[in-house]
Structures are given as structure tokens and as C-alpha cells.
């Protein structure tokens, strides 16, 4: 293996590790945010995480790639975030 190839492979592996670390940090931040949203909404169980799990199962059945399911799960974790700015009586009335 040439030195150039070794440098490229090392750089590529480092980028993948950096990306995995970034995704892990993103996921933890979104889980923390999801827990806060669930508390605000009054859920007694982890609603956002349940929806993320359901989204992953649907994505799996549809044959989606793992990285696409990852981002779909992240969106599902915080799908209720907009309700924090809505009138609470409207939200309760329509449940």
C-alpha cells in the first residue's frame, strides 16, 4: 500500500469516526429534548422514544437504509416540539 493510500484510508476512517461521534451527540441531545417535551406534554411514559421506535420498525419494513432510519428516528423523537408554542387549551381540546 502506498503512503498516499494509507493517508487517505486513515483520513476516511477518522471522518467516519467523527461522523459517528457527531451522530451519537446529536442523538443524545435529541433524546434529552424529547424527554423535556414529554414532560411538558404530561406524558408519563417516553412518548417520543416510542414514536422513534415505531418509525424505525416502519422504515425497516419498507427496506430503508440504516442511515435513513437513523434520521427518521431523530425527527420522530421531537415530532411534538411545535406544541410548546401552541395554546394549551387547543391542544387538550383536540386530543
The residue that leads in pLDDT, 3 or 34, is: 34
pLDDT at residue 7, rounded to an integer: 42
The SS3 call for residue 6 is helix
Q: Is the pLDDT of residue 4 over 70?
A: no
C-alpha to C-alpha distance for 60 and 53, rounded to whole angstroms: 11
Q: pLDDT tens digits for 16-74?
A: 656 777 878 888 888 888 898 888 888 888 999 999 999 999 999 999 999 899 889 99
pLDDT at residue 16, rounded to an integer: 61
Domain ranges of the chain: 24-93
Q: Is the pLDDT of residue 1 over 70?
A: no
pTM over 0.75: no
Core vs surface per residue 11-49: b (16+ CB within 10 A) or e? eeeeeeeeeeeeeeeeeeebbeebbebbeeeeeeeebbb
Amino acid at each position: 500500500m502506498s503512503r498516499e493510500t494509507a493517508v487517505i484510508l486513515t483520513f476516511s476512517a477518522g471522518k467516519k469516526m467523527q461522523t459517528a461521534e457527531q451522530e451519537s451527540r446529536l442523538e443524545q441531545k435529541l433524546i434529552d429534548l424529547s424527554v423535556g417535551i414529554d414532560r411538558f406534554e404530561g406524558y408519563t411514559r417516553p412518548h417520543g422514544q416510542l414514536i422513534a421506535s415505531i418509525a424505525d420498525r416502519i422504515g425497516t419494513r419498507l427496506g430503508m437504509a440504516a442511515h435513513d432510519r437513523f434520521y427518521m428516528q431523530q425527527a420522530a423523537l421531537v415530532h411534538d416540539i411545535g406544541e410548546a408554542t401552541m395554546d394549551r387549551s387547543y391542544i387538550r381540546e383536540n386530543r
